[in-house]
Amino acid sequence: MESITASQVKDVATENGFHRIGHHKCSMCGYPTGYVIDGDHVAFDAGCDCTGRYSSRPSSFDDIARNFNMQTPEIRARMWEDFKAGKPLID
Ligand SMILES: [Zn+2]
């Protein structure tokens, strides 16, 4: 499967009305981190400060696309199908 682009991610998020895309759960407290989408703006909500970082930082649709593109093509294709089917989760 080809790489996912930022605009593809944005299109699907807009079509599905995604306001939050789940990422991983914090390994220390279990907080479900994720990307928060507000129109053209994306922030990453780390939620907790277990790692000593800011709990929220500016992000982008490119960042979200990178999560897909770091996977193998097979996994990427499956994640992308789920994403398009309305499951806002990258894990
Ligand atoms: Zn935590």
pLDDT along the chain (91 residues), means of 10: 95 97 92 94 90 82 97 96 95 75
Listed by start position, the domains of the chain span 6-84
> Given this model, what pLDDT does residue 52 score?
74
19 CA from centroid of ligand 1 (Å): 21
67 CA from centroid of ligand 1 (Å): 20
Pull the structure tokens for residue 84.
């398009």
Cα–Cα distance list, 71 to 76, 84, 90 (Å) = 5, 17, 11
> Given this model, what pLDDT does residue 51 score?
72
> Given this model, what pLDDT does residue 59 score?
96
CA distance 44 to 34: 6
Eight-class DSSP state of 1: -
88 CA from centroid of ligand 1 (Å): 21
Structure pTM? Answer: 0.89
CA distance 40 to 91: 23
